Chain A
Amino acid sequence: MIDIQLIEECRGGNFNNFRKLIELTSPFAYSVAFRILGNEDQAKDVVQETMVTIWQKLKKIKSAEVYKTWIYRIVINKCYDQIRKRKRNPEFIADEQTWALISNRISVGPSAALENSETSKIIGLLTERLSYKQKTVFVLSDLEGMSNDEISEITGISKSAVKANLYHARKSISEKVEKYL
């Protein structure tokens, strides 16, 4: 958990404490970025850009309590920028092997965690037909475990829109799983 005292010290311009903040913030920022982008390098880029933005604007945030929500918002926006950049050349191509991988992993049991590359493939496959909003809401809600209120605050869309996007995302993924597994 990120210490509020640490954030306050960083807001005062303490560069050494900021290193500690990077260490604590990077993992969950990376997790969201990777789940949305499905690419390690791009996710790392997003984390780096996010941390630079945090350093530049840390003094402007009203209180340390909103820090996590604020970071998620920055990450989501940076991911959207990345996706817009690569929109012309989509990287992910769904294949039979990915479905076989999912099937195999499910049968092994929940104890077996996935590699990053496997996670990327599976999320890419499941969400390939979703819009950016739907994918973001799905990742934040079902994978990061956030409430609709938090998602609404992070993404800047209304709660009813969050619910609607989540409904469509779950429906689409559920239909795919039903069809191919």
Chain B
Amino acid sequence: MEPENEKYNKVLDLLRKSKPGLDSTDDIEREVIKRIERVNHAGLFLSDAFDFLFGWVYIQWIRRSLIAASVALVLVFVYQQSVILKRIDYLSRQTIVTERESRFAHAEEVEKMLMVYRNSGMRFPSKNITISERQMKELIESVNELQLKYKDLENLIEEDPELKKMIEKKLIENNRTNNNL
């Protein structure tokens, strides 16, 4: 668009002729040189510091050693991972066995506790022994099992008079020993 407005053209002429001028370029020159020197100095300092810290990476034998070390590290890492995976696999299988063992251990523990309770002449207050329903069932089962075994043992003794005599004799001896103690 070419405005035909005379006033507009006059204003533009005025502005074109009034080119903004610098009083002196000396100040700008001085300031620019100062800034460049500051930038260069900062740049030099940074490059010196960088060279000091990381300059050794340009030495050939160090580079090769680092490559070898990194390869070795990767191999160790892979080996370690495989060992860890094997261990995890082994442990995941172990968990089931441990659970079974712990169930048996509970029943045994309760029996031991009862044994201590009996042997101590029932001096421990009964409220100190707390067992769960599951443990109670296990205890009853084990008592029943024991009773069955005891009956079998009784039958065996009844059937064999010599064995009966021998056991009676052994019991009498034991009682005497206990009385003497």
Contacts and interface: CB of A to CB of B under 8 A. Distances in A.
Interface residues of A, number: 42
B115 interface: no
B21 A27 contact: yes
A149 interface: no
B29 interface: yes
Nearest to A169: B1
Contacts of A30: 20-22, 28
A159 interface: no
Contacts of A177: 5, 7-8, 11
Contacts of A123: 15
B101 interface: no
A44 interface: yes
A22 B25 CA distance: 8
B16 A145 contact: yes
Given A167-B1, A174-B3, A106 B21 contact: no
A35 B14 CA distance: 13
Nearest to A167: B1
A148 interface: no
Interface in B15-58: 15-22, 25, 27-29, 31-33, 35-36, 39
B28 A178 contact: no
A151 interface: no
Contacts of B16: 142-143, 145
Interface of A is mostly: helix
A116 B20 contact: yes
B123 interface: no
A116 B21 contact: yes
Interface in A91-150: 102, 105-106, 110, 113-116, 118-119, 122-123, 126, 142-143, 145
A63 B20 CA distance: 29
B28 A47 contact: yes
B8 A19 contact: no
A114 B14 contact: yes
A58 to B, nearest CB: 11
A11 B117 CA distance: 101
Contacts of B15: 114, 119, 122-123, 143
Given A27-B21, A114-B18, A116-B20, A48 B1 contact: no
8 contacts: A31-B19, A55-B32, A106-B10, A114-B14, A116-B21, A119-B20, A170-B1, A181-B7
